[in-house]
Amino acid sequence: MAVKITWLPMNKTVEVDLDQMPYKEHGKPRSFLDVAKNCGIHLEHACGGNCACTTCHVVIKQGEGMLSEMQDDEADRLDMAADLTLHSRLGCQAVIEKNEGELVVEIPAWNRNYVSEGGENAMAGAAKKEE
């Protein structure tokens, strides 16, 4: 079995057997971030997948029913995301529970521009201060 995930706006479709996919140690296992790391898709993750930023924000266009329910910590963090929608999730926290079916997910423009706006450097500085 496998899931098919289409990433927008790149329009890149990957097919992944989640039961066979190795965990890449970023975000929850079988999360969108985990899939992205496994499939060479660039999804920002300034906090390393620890539910402490919003740079992994994704919007689910299809297949929401295949995902884990949103937990309170994800909902609280997501509230701070730019371009928030009713179908928004954090890529590092939303786990794909079904290993069969089709998902379509979009990386919002704000997150795509994050690095070019210098956001990564700002976060790296903030992360260092907390150490």
R_g of the chain, CA atoms, integer Å: 14
Name 59's bridge partners.
Answer: 88, 106
Rounded to the nearest 5°, which phi and psi values hold at 53?
-150, -170
Closer to ligand FES at the Cβ: 16 or 34? 34
Closer to ligand FES at the Cβ: 21 or 92? 92
Query: Closest approach of Cβ 78 to ligand FES, in Å?
Result: 9
Could you write out the DSSP letters of every residue in 36-79? HHHHT-----TTSSSSS-STTEEEEEE-GGGBPPPPHHHHHHHT
Closer to ligand FES at the Cβ: 55 or 88? 55
Query: Closest approach of Cβ 130 to ligand FES, in Å?
Result: 13
- Binding residues (CB under 6 A) for ligand FES: these are 45-47, 49, 51-53, 55-56, 77, 90-92
Exposed, middle or buried: residue 115 (CB in 10 Å: 0-12, 13-18, 19+)?
middle
Query: Closest approach of Cβ 56 to ligand FES, in Å?
Result: 3
Query: Closest approach of Cβ 1 to ligand FES, in Å?
Result: 26
Closer to ligand FES at the Cβ: 44 or 66? 44
Whole-angstrom distance, CA of residue 2 vs CA of residue 49: 23
